[in-house]
Amino acid sequence: MSHGPWALLEIERQRGRPLLLAARVPENLPGCHFDGLDLEAWIDEFLIDILVLGTRTAKVDIAAFRRLARGTPIKLYPSWDNHHSSDGYRETDLEIWRGVCANWWRQNPDGMHTFNLMLPSPQAAQNSGARPPPGWPTQRRVFAEIGNPETLKFKDKVFFVERRGGGHAQPVVPAPDNWHTPRHMYFQSNMQAPLPTPLDAAGGTDALLRLEVADEVSSAAEKIAALTLRLAISAEVPTALCSGTELEQIASLIELRINNILLGTPRPETVSAPQDDIFKHWLAVAVAPPILQSAPISSARACVNPRPQAAAGSASKSSNCTSAINSRPAEQPRWIREEARCGNPHRMRL
């Protein structure tokens, strides 16, 4: 009895039409090797038609897979899991989908792949006797926009630096505040993500983070109503986020730089979020578009430096980091989460 791709080719002949074989694999080659997947052999022997890259991460090394697949008809589709997603971005907003996919399109994939984006339409829900799902309008917009880089241009986006762990049951993936290397698998763990990262309250060592921003922000400054950098800060553990007076005190102690340009003093900001979402309290600071250079990647640098006449505070702080481009308005955590929002003046509200 035939097995694998040869069985598929046999069925193709019987049915008189092509049947393609796709496999979902970790987001980079080291992750594939960690999990025992010999992608080089799969490609050399042409055992696959489509590689679906990544699971719950926005950081996919499409270029490395492209080098392996060069000269073959194998297609590359980066994937975002809407449910088991990067920690802090579960069942996420449309702006985050746009930012993730815009960054991927800069690496020239063959298309986009979604996972766990499976809400029924209002009509389908009604036909089955269920209530229309509230997330349907966002899902519909995701499918309408992410399939082409042109449909993502000049729309509000969120770009973020990822957190490792979380997003799944702890026996599968360790939580950020109980992190240990999950040696049973690389898949779904985000184990190489840079956040949470500890901050040096003495100010001697900066926390250096790389934030990828696909949009040509500096050359499209006239179309941008607001560009905001946000940090989520936690105390002893990554899930104990600072808020209120403590966050105000931290704002007077922290320095933020993008491409080594010092930004203004951040301000505390509270955003609406689902009840089980811990990322409600942020430090936010406006960013001038020219600071983000016209390149596929801008680097975000966050550091803690005691300002004159200010106390250094505890040395145990850590951070999470996000940055967002908004066509008008924009959001996100002594672990840093950093987020950049950009947007165009004709922001379409959901």
Asked whether 341 and 331 are in contact (CB, 8 A), the reply is: yes
Alpha-carbon gap, residue 197 to 199, rounded angstroms = 7
Computed over every residue of the chain, the mean pLDDT equals 80
Two tokens, residue 76 = 């590359």
pLDDT at position 339 = 46
Is the domain of 166 the same as that of 142? no
**Rounded average pLDDT over 333-337:** 35
CA 204 to chain centre: 29
Confidence class of residue 303 from pLDDT cuts 50, 70 and 90? Answer: low
Asked whether 296 and 212 are in contact (CB, 8 A), the reply is: yes
pLDDT at position 307 = 47
State yes or no: pLDDT of 80 exceeds 70. yes
Choice between 14 and 311, residue whose per-residue pLDDT is larger: 14
- State pLDDT tens for residues 7-45: 888 888 899 998 899 999 999 999 999 999 999 999 999
Confidence class of residue 239 from pLDDT cuts 50, 70 and 90? Answer: low
Two tokens, residue 68 = 């392996």
Residue 347 in any domain: the answer is no
List, in sequence order, every residue forming a beta bridge with 257; answer none if it has no partner.
262, 301
String of b and e for 273-307 (b: at least 16 CB within 10 Å)? eeeeebbbbbbbbebebebbeeeeebbbbbbbbbe
Domain that holds residue 75: 4-150
* Helix or strand (DSSP H, E) at 95: helix 94-105
Q: Phi and psi dihedrals of 245, rounded to 5?
A: -60, -40
Is the domain of 177 the same as that of 319? yes
Residue 155 in any domain: the answer is no
Confidence class of residue 157 from pLDDT cuts 50, 70 and 90? Answer: very high
pLDDT at position 274 = 64
The residue with tokens 């917009």 is 141
The residue with tokens 């193709």 is 12
Confidence class of residue 337 from pLDDT cuts 50, 70 and 90? Answer: very low
**Rounded average pLDDT over 322-332:** 42
Burial degree of 149 (CB within 10 A; 0-12, 13-18, 19+): middle
**Rounded average pLDDT over 43-50:** 93
Number of domains in the chain: 2
135: CATH: 3.20.20
**Rounded average pLDDT over 70-83:** 94
State yes or no: pLDDT of 83 exceeds 60. yes
Is the domain of 286 the same as that of 167? yes
Choosing from 150, 184, 201, the residue where a domain stops is 150
Q: What region, left, alpha or beta, does residue 173 occupy, with left being phi > 0 and alpha being psi -120 to 50 degrees?
A: beta
- Cα atoms in the Cβ-side hemisphere of radius 13 Å centred on 249: 15
Alpha-carbon gap, residue 172 to 344, rounded angstroms = 40
The residue with tokens 């980066």 is 78
- Return the closest-CA partner of residue 5 out of 50, 40, 55: 50
Is the domain of 178 the same as that of 90? no
pLDDT above 90: percentage of residues in the chain? 38
Choosing from 150, 177, 204, the residue where a domain stops is 150
Is the domain of 117 the same as that of 164? no
Confidence class of residue 345 from pLDDT cuts 50, 70 and 90? Answer: very low
State yes or no: pLDDT of 69 exceeds 50. yes
Alpha-carbon gap, residue 39 to 155, rounded angstroms = 36
Supply the DSSP symbol for 133.
P
The verdict on pTM exceeding 0.75 is yes
pLDDT at position 8 = 83
- Cα atoms in the Cβ-side hemisphere of radius 13 Å centred on 250: 34
Is the domain of 188 the same as that of 329? yes
* Helix or strand (DSSP H, E) at 338: strand 336-342
pLDDT at position 199 = 84
State yes or no: pLDDT of 87 exceeds 80. no
Asked whether 156 and 347 are in contact (CB, 8 A), the reply is: yes
pLDDT at position 68 = 96
Is the domain of 41 the same as that of 177? no
- State pLDDT tens for residues 221-234: 888 888 999 998 88
User: CB count, 10 Å around CB of 162?
Assistant: 22
Two tokens, residue 253 = 């102690």
pLDDT at position 4 = 59
**Rounded average pLDDT over 87-116:** 91
Range with lowest mean pLDDT among 19-33, 70-84, 170-184, 324-338: 324-338
Is the domain of 23 the same as that of 42? yes
- How long, in residues, is the chain? 350
pLDDT above 70: percentage of residues in the chain? 79
Residue 222 in any domain: the answer is yes
**Rounded average pLDDT over 238-252:** 83
State yes or no: pLDDT of 334 exceeds 80. no
